[in-house]
Amino acid sequence: DGGITQSPKYLFRKEGQNVTLSCEQNLNHDAMYWYRQDPGQGLRLIYYSQIVNDFQKGDIAEGYSVSREKKESFPLTVTSAQKNPTAFYLCASSMPGQGLHEQYFGPGTRLTVT
């Protein structure tokens, strides 16, 4: 079954700790994305990557970092510099090179920082 996997489903961390969220896809998609979702605010783009070894900042990149060393994987690190990291994080992928601009989403990771 093709799809996007995010792990873990729930993650708890103490303030001041960096934490890495996993995102893996087996759809052979070129582009991958990270969004943050807060109640009543919709989805906000953190980072995106259109090809391996390249990525761009989205609208709220401060306090986050990413890497794209493999086509299938796009991990997101939430650093201690992120002022309010508690949120629901969603990973997505798409295949724009084939004229398919819709994004497919993973199940999400809910991060709680106390």
Q: Which two three-digit tokens encode residue 36?
A: 């943050």
Residue of 1, 24, 15 lying closest to 114 (CA atoms): 15
3 state SS of 96: helix
Query: Per CB under 8 A, does 19 bind another protein?
Result: no
x/- letters, 81..100, toward another protein (CB under 8 A) = -------x-x-x-x-x--x-
Nearer to another protein, 16 or 99 (CB): 99
ω into residue 8 within 30 of 0, thus cis?
yes
Q: Which of 21, 24, 48, 87 binds another protein (CB under 8 A)?
A: 48
Q: What is the smallest separation between the CB atom of 19 and another protein, expressed in angstroms? A: 19
x/- letters, 55..84, toward another protein (CB under 8 A) = ---x--------------------------
Query: Per CB under 8 A, does 31 bind another protein?
Result: yes
C-alpha distances out from residue 82 to 1, 21, 23, 51, 111, Å? 35, 14, 20, 26, 12
